[in-house]
Amino acid sequence: MDIVVVLLLLAIFGIVFALFKISGATNINTKTTTLSKEQLELRYQNELRKILEKHKDDPKAQKIQKMIYLKNLNDELSRNIYFTHDDAKKLLNKLASI
9-58 tens-digit pLDDT:
888 988 988 877 787 654 555 555 567 888 999 999 999 999 999 999 99
What ranges do the domains of the chain cover? Answer: 1-30, 37-96
Q: Quick one: pLDDT at residue 59?
A: 95
Q: Quick one: pLDDT at residue 45?
A: 97
Q: Quick one: pLDDT at residue 85?
A: 94
CA distance 32 to 47: 24
What b-and-e string marks burial along 44-69, b requiring 16 or more CB atoms within 10 Å of the CB?
beeebeebbeeeeeeeeebeebbeeb
| pLDDT, greater one: 57 or 2 | 57
| pLDDT, greater one: 24 or 79 | 79
Q: Quick one: pLDDT at residue 27?
A: 54
> Residue 92: pLDDT band by 50, 70, 90 thresholds?
very high
Tens digits of residue pLDDT in 16-26: 888 777 876 54
